[in-house]
């Protein structure tokens, strides 16, 4: 596979260079600015014992839903920070001994999501030229991820596990800065490579395939055809570029990504369906947040029904 890619880059050097330049621009002008602060802060929270605090607060709800309480931390910070914050946070909790390997693989299956800032500013504002579209995309992806967690991450968990020593505030910040910087370099490298290969292959001629290859291209295509549900699909799926970022992080902890792949496919389909329902309601653009809240409440209160389907 990599030999074929190498030949493509050699045969189409100009196209590859143009794609790499575009990927570099997107990585540092949009993605890095949106992700780095959250990546650093979320990592520092792990090292100072915040998952234990939030886990205790969310334990009643998450235990009732048969979700690991520590998943709440990765889920919330993942939605705020965007790809690959959820994956990074789950792996760091595993590395700190807060969760075991199986629990980590289940958690990252639904907590690694696109971020709020990216959804509103890049997807909504820049691509669809509508903040409302960004809200729909984000809400659909978030609810889709939560439902995916109910299906993919069920089990009986306890947060009474051995904890590693909590680090002092500035020590935790310094450690998180190093880890966050490494993640950003990883993201930038993946954007450069995937944009270069996609441009060399001429995937712009097949926009849907290009969107699966690289998420931002997919959302841009969805904006071009004015399909918010399609934008929610690509935003939730993440694409091969995000998968490569997660694979690089998980490889350091010898984690499998089988559950992650299944989770992202399920989440993308659910997000598409939710966005379609929202966009085809007469109050689209007026009560989107209220609709999303009711959708989330419906998921919570239908836990027993989902429980029967999953067992």
State the Cα angle at 263 between 128 and 188, rounded to 5°.
Answer: 55
Q: Does residue 4 fall inside a structural domain?
A: no
More confident residue, 50 or 235: 235
Q: Does residue 73 fall inside a structural domain?
A: yes
Q: In the prediction, which pLDDT does 85 show?
A: 81
Q: Give tens-digit pLDDT for 11-37.
A: 777 777 887 887 777 777 766 666 677
Q: In the prediction, which pLDDT does 157 show?
A: 63
Q: In the prediction, which pLDDT does 113 show?
A: 92
Q: In the prediction, which pLDDT does 165 show?
A: 57
d(CA 22, CA 280): 34
d(CA 217, CA 23): 10
Q: Does residue 269 fall inside a structural domain?
A: yes
Q: Does residue 134 fall inside a structural domain?
A: yes
d(CA 200, CA 193): 11
Query: In angstroms, what CA-CA distances link 183 with 152, 171, 174, 256?
Result: 26, 19, 14, 19
Indicate the angle between helix axes 85-95 and 101-111, nearest 10 degrees.
Answer: 170
Q: Give tens-digit pLDDT for 168-209.
A: 766 777 777 776 676 677 777 777 777 787 788 777 788 888
d(CA 195, CA 188): 11
Q: Does residue 301 fall inside a structural domain?
A: yes
More confident residue, 32 or 240: 240
Say yes or no to pLDDT of 245 above 70. Answer: yes
Contacts for 169-173 with beta carbons within 8 Å, 24 or more apart?
A: 169/44, 169/48, 171/47, 172/43, 172/44, 172/47, 172/48, 173/40, 173/44
Q: Residue 112: pLDDT band by 50, 70, 90 thresholds? A: very high
Say yes or no to pLDDT of 296 above 60. Answer: no
Q: Does residue 260 fall inside a structural domain?
A: yes
State mean pLDDT over 38-67. 73
Say yes or no to pLDDT of 93 above 90. Answer: no
Q: Does residue 277 fall inside a structural domain?
A: yes
d(CA 109, CA 86): 9
Q: In the prediction, which pLDDT does 116 show?
A: 82
Q: What percent of the chain has pLDDT over 90?
A: 15
Q: Average pLDDT over the chain, rounded to whole?
A: 78
Q: Give tens-digit pLDDT for 121-180.
A: 888 888 898 888 999 999 999 999 998 988 877 666 655 444 555 667 667 777 777 766
Selection from 124, 94, 97, 73 nearest residue 228 by Cα = 124
Q: In the prediction, which pLDDT does 302 show?
A: 53
Q: Are 123 and 137 in contact (CB under 8 A)?
A: yes
Q: Are 236 and 145 in contact (CB under 8 A)?
A: yes
Q: Which two tokens stand for residue 59?
A: 């334990």
pTM value surpassing 0.85:
no
Q: Does residue 250 fall inside a structural domain?
A: yes
Considering its fold, how many domains does the chain have in total?
1
3-state secondary structure labels for all residues of 199-243? HHHCHHHCHHHHHHHCHHHHHHHHHHCCCHHHHHHHHHHCHHHHH
Q: In the prediction, which pLDDT does 8 show?
A: 74
Which region among 38-52, 90-104, 291-305 has the lowest average model confidence (pLDDT)?
291-305
33-72: burial string, b at 16+ Cβ within 10 Å, e else: ebbbebbbbbbbbbbbbbbbebbeebbeebeebbbbbbbb
Say yes or no to pLDDT of 58 above 60. Answer: yes
Query: In angstroms, what CA-CA distances link 197 with 6, 189, 211?
Result: 9, 12, 13
Question: Could you give the count of Cα atoms lying within 13 Å of 193 in the half-sphere of its Cβ?
Answer: 14
Domain that holds residue 212: 10-155+180-310
State mean pLDDT over 227-240. 92
Which region among 115-119, 169-173, 250-254, 302-306 has the lowest average model confidence (pLDDT)?
302-306
Best-predicted range by mean pLDDT among 230-234, 245-249, 285-289? 230-234
């Amino acid at each position: 596979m990599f030999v074929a890619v190498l030949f493509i880059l050699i045969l189409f050097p100009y196209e590859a260079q143009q794609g790499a330049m575009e990927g570099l621009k997107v990585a540092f002008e949009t993605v890095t600015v949106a992700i780095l602060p959250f990546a650093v802060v979320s990592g520092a929270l792990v090292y100072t014992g915040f998952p234990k605090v939030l886990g205790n607060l969310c334990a009643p709800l998450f235990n009732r839903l048969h979700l690991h309480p520590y998943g709440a931390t990765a889920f919330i910070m993942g939605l705020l920070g965007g790809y690959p914050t959820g994956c990074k946070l789950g792996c760091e909790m595993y590395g700190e001994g807060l969760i075991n390997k199986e629990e980590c693989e289940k958690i990252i299956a639904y907590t690694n999501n696109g971020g709020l800032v990216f959804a509103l500013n890049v997807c909504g504002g820049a691509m669809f030229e509508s903040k409302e579209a960004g809200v729909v995309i984000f809400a659909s992806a978030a609810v889709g991820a939560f439902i995916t967690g109910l299906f993919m991450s069920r089990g009986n968990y306890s947060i009474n596990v051995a904890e590693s020593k909590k680090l002092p505030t500035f020590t935790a910040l310094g450690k998180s800065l190093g880890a966050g910087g490494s993640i950003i370099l990883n993201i930038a490298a993946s954007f450069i490579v995937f944009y270069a290969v996609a441009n060399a292959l001429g995937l712009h001629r097949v926009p849907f395939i290009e969107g699966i290859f690289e998420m931002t291209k997919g959302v841009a295509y969805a904006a071009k055809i004015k399909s918010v549900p399609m934008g929610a699909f690509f935003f939730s799926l993440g694409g091969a570029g995000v998968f490569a970022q997660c694979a690089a992080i998980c490889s350091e902890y010898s984690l499998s990504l089988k559950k992650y792949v299944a989770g992202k496919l399920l989440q993308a389909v659910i997000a598409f369906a939710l966005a379609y329902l929202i966009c085809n309601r007469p109050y689209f653009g007026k009560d989107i947040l209220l609709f999303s809240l009711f959708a989330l409440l419906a998921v919570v209160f239908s836990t027993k029904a989902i429980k029967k389907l999953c067992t």
